[in-house]
Copies of this chain bind each other. A is one copy, B any other.
């Protein structure tokens, strides 16, 4: 449990940064790294702060390393792009154990390898607080990047997978921390996994971008109530989604019951699922369904874009506005 050494960490990172890749001209070891692209670059940067965005008491460092990168890869997925290169800026407290940072780095490198990305540079500094900033560069594929702005009235709204899972997992860990041993967490493993180790929808994002059927797309980081509202706002439209069509894991109901939470709150308003929400051009639904069958993917139609403003939820008792009611980071 010795504390980390900056020299040792930089040596390790340099060793890992010596990969070769089409388009990488200069990796780590100069004032800048240098990359070429065929067309444009998609760029996103996200900062995670200890005790704000993650809790080290329950988050294993290797999985946190994966997640720190995953949330950025998810931004590339949301544009339908292919992630290529990553820069890490690590602000690390002096007393951090070398073992922790080694495992974190191993997780980060593992997910980069999973998605055929390369670590090309970054910065390591000493601080009082653990702050992890990841910057990712990706390339658009097919007909180009998919923005939030293209949704039109009559388009259908879809999500790539169950909602609320990560939020449920987070609440379970928080409850366990509050009263250790009270819950048998293993019952809800899929929710715990969704929180600990979210998987960015890279392949699906590229397939959708290449299909030309999708008019707007975004990843679900703050809950569908907020993230679909972003699409509506950017596109100048509204949307109506059907409560009964929102997909969620069976484990979420029992977890919500035990936690004393409402399932629909977790589904609509909890963040970090990193599923995609996307809109399909009016009249192209059948084509999308055919494509998804061909790719053996399950996606879920949850509602429609409409003229006017505001994101509404259709329940048995009528329509209810839910715009921007998601989790605020």
Contact = CB atoms under 8 A, between A and B. Distances in A.
Given A127-B49, A128-B128, A131-B127, A44 B33 contact: yes
A41 to B, nearest CB: 6
Interface in A308-329: 329
Which one of A120, A123, A148, A149 has the greatest number of beta carbons of chain B within 10 Å? A123
A213 to B, nearest CB: 19
A273 interface: no
Interface string A103-135: 000000000000000001111011111010101
A203 interface: no
Which one of A44, A81, A87, A329 has the greatest number of beta carbons of chain B within 10 Å? A44
Contacts of A148: 29-31
Interface stretch (A71-79, A161-169, A296-304): A71-79
Interface string A31-51: 111111101111111111101
Contacts of A329: 125
Contact of A79 (B30, B37, B52, B122): B30
A226 interface: no
A36 B40 contact: yes
B37 A33 contact: no
A45 B123 contact: yes
